[in-house]
Structure 1
């Protein structure tokens, strides 16, 4: 896969897709999971956003692994890498909850049975758990990535940030 885009490292560019899409998917999932009127109208769009978010995670992880080969090893980089590896299961849980929610909605609309309602309820819980977990994890990963990127960079007061000055 690519390691640069127009001569720039791909990871800082690709990671912005994760930073935008995963929280947007999480918010969308929360809305359609807890608000039935929104579910009927917006669940398929939320699933599309969650699909794009899910695809963006391994792209960001892959480009991050390529970038990692070109930066000085540090505890900050190692922490960021370790945390980033844990995002895919959460994003997958979010996607799965939405996918089952959409499928249950369609089943309920086409059949005169009550079990899709129970399936939708369980899927909504899965979507909410995935949304909260992935949203929190993206924030944690972003913070650790910023620490890894900016550790040791001089602040505006001329002092070097971080513990190694």
Structure 2
């Protein structure tokens, strides 16, 4: 039924919850699990923008990077390399957590929901399994949702998982 399953990750709690589902489905169907992270180059804060509920930003954006490695001036500071390293770390960590499931990792750049859908089309993906942040009301309306955009516009089925509020 499923030969190729895409797991887009931003390192958030919602993504971690979705990984368990993606891994189980890939194992059940003998599918290849594609692990993708998208560096959001469409926003003014270039980087991965995974906002956690209470812990602030969990992904890599310019302001978080500045807090880790202050000083935008100087040869030793290359934000593009730091973002690429963080993105590679996210997909490698998720692939490692997939255990014995066959995995393929990728890092893409651009608008996250568009990059996810482009990856689906280019790699003949059968199912997308992704996390949500669980926003509701005005927060969801104002901030939007990558998962919601993918669900609305994807040509393949999308399974979404939300991190339990108690976790």
TM-score tier after normalising by the smaller chain length: under 0.3
TM-score relative to the length of structure 2: 0.27
The structure with the greater share of residues assigned to strand is: 2
The structure with the greater share of residues assigned to helix is: 1
Q: State the structure with more CA Rg.
A: 1
Larger RCO (CA under 8 A, 6+ residues apart):
2
